[in-house]
Amino acid sequence: MGHGIAQVFAGAGHQVRIFDQDSSVLASVPERIRANLVPFLELGLVAPEQVETLLGRVKPCSVLADLCQGADLVIEAVSENLGLKRKLFAQLESFVPPQTILASNTSAISIGLIAEGLAHPGRVLGTHFWNPPQVVPCVEVIRAPRTDPAVVDRVMELLNRVGKHPVRVEKDVPGFVGNRMQHALWREAIYLVEQGIASPEDVDAVVRLGFGLRLAFLGPLQTADLAGLDLTRAVHEDLLPHLDCAQGPSPLLERKLAQGHLGAKAGQGFHSWTPESLAQVKQNRDRTLLKILREVLPAPKP
Ligand SMILES: NC(=O)c1ccc[n+]([C@@H]2O[C@H](COP(=O)([O-])OP(=O)(O)OC[C@H]3O[C@@H](n4cnc5c(N)ncnc54)[C@H](O)[C@@H]3O)[C@@H](O)[C@H]2O)c1
């Protein structure tokens, strides 16, 4: 996520510094951004002569203190682990002046917990980008109980200026807005497979080629309005008691993990994968999303 987020700001003309504790990851940043730019170039959203300019704005930093020098905003995108993030925020706080905004790209960890114990929690908030961040416009901006509302306003404005579509999340709830909805869907999808109701291929097809097709154009609440709230209520009365409401990971998911079926990175999850099919899917995903966005929104910035 980090290099994609760096690309968003560099594409909008900002000078960006990027740090990773793994020097090989840090060294691969220019090459990864170059690869991210391929679909933008193919669709004419970036001119070939802009590539080196954009890359020139992203400076890899091998020392965290150097990254922090003079930064207006630091966005953390390290692994999803509270202890790690807290330690990093404490380090960041020791390197930046009190007015520097500190943001976390966490998917689901409480921003308030990340900020706990810091001297200036008012400048800490969540900026949850969606993968791939250089393509997907929406960013959830999460206000923790102690976040200064003026900091939220400044980050909303900045994200708008770099071509994103920020949304305000007014309460620091687990999973914020997007991952609550996304994982409610995944829980039900896994349940349907576990119960032998449909195959993984067919469950995915119902979303991709069924109701999911319209989700980039009409959100669920717009769709409920179109269906009618009376119909929505009637369906909920009949259907909600039958939906999975397990409070923990599904036994099917646990069995898959025990078998080493960790998903695309292991070659097997609900589907089978090869390195080639994975690379192909990622490239086609970005190209397809950019084409859809061209229809739904003004051209996104790279
Ligand atoms: N991958 C996604 O789809 C996605 C989407 C939205 C948000 N997120 C969130 O973004 C964050 C990063 O996710 P990712 O998928 O890019 O993970 P990743 O594992 O690909 O990258 C994390 C990077 O953090 C580095 N790192 C770990 N500890 C560090 C430290 N102390 N200092 C500096 N660098 C350190 C690692 O070397 C690694 O390169 C997580 O909080 C994740 O939940 C991920």
Would the CATH topology of 2-169 be identical to that of 179-252?
no
Please give the pLDDT value at position 300: 52
Determine the Cα–Cα distance for residues 65 and 251; give it in Å rounded to an integer. 45
Is 165 assigned a catalytic role? Answer: no
Q: 127 in ligand 1 pocket by Cβ < 6 Å?
A: no
CATH label, 179-252, candidates 1.10.1040.10, 3.30.465.10, 1.20.1560.10, 3.90.25.10: 1.10.1040.10
The Cα–Cα gap between 280 and 44 comes to 20
Q: Is the CB of 51 under 6 A from ligand 1?
A: no
Residue 122, judged by CB atoms within 10 A of its CB (0-12, 13-18, 19+), counts as middle
Phi, psi of 12 (to 5 degrees): -95, 10
User: 76 CB less than 6 Å from ligand 1?
Assistant: no
Asked if residue 5 has its Cβ within 6 Å of ligand 1, the reply is no
Task: Please state the three-class secondary structure of 22-57 as a single string.
Answer: CHHHHHCHHHHHHHHHHHHHHCCCCCCCHHHHHHHC
User: What's the first-to-final CA gap in the chain, in angstroms?
Assistant: 14
Task: Please name the residue whose Cα sits nearest to atom 4 of ligand 1.
Answer: 131
* 272 three-state secondary structure: strand
Residue type, 223: T
- pLDDT, one tens digit for every residue, the chain (302 residues): 999 999 999 999 999 999 999 999 999 999 999 999 999 999 999 999 999 999 999 999 999 999 999 999 999 999 999 999 999 999 999 999 989 999 999 999 999 999 999 999 999 999 999 999 999 999 999 999 999 999 999 999 999 999 999 999 999 999 999 999 999 999 999 999 999 999 999 999 999 999 999 999 999 999 999 999 999 999 999 999 999 999 999 999 999 999 999 999 999 999 999 999 999 999 899 999 999 998 887 655 55
3 is catalytic: no
Task: Report how far ligand 1's centroid is from the alpha carbon of 88 (Å).
Answer: 12
**What residue ranges do the domains of the chain occupy?**
2-169, 179-252
Q: Which residue has the tokens 């090459």?
A: 31
What per-residue confidence (pLDDT) applies to 302? Answer: 53
Catalytic residue at 105? Answer: no
> What spacing in Å lies between the alpha carbon of 255 and ligand 1's midpoint?
26
CATH code of the domain made up of 2-169: 3.40.50.720
Has 170 been annotated as catalytic?
no
Question: 268 pairs with which residues across the strands?
Answer: 263, 272
34, 51 contact by CB (below 8 A): yes
Catalytic residue among 14, 28, 179, 261: 179
Provide the whole-model pTM: 0.94
Q: Which of 142, 147, 108 is nearest to 127 (CA)?
A: 142
Distance 75 CA to ligand 1 centre (A): 11
Q: Give pLDDT, residue 168.
A: 98
Alpha-carbon distance of 82 to 163, in angstroms, equals: 30
Query: To which residue do tokens 């994200």 refer?
Result: 159
26 C-beta closer than 6 A to ligand 1: no
Contact yes or no for 9/164 (Cβ under 8 A): no
- What pLDDT does 26 receive? 97
Q: Who's near 3: CB < 8 A, 6+ residues apart?
A: 18, 29, 32, 33, 36, 58
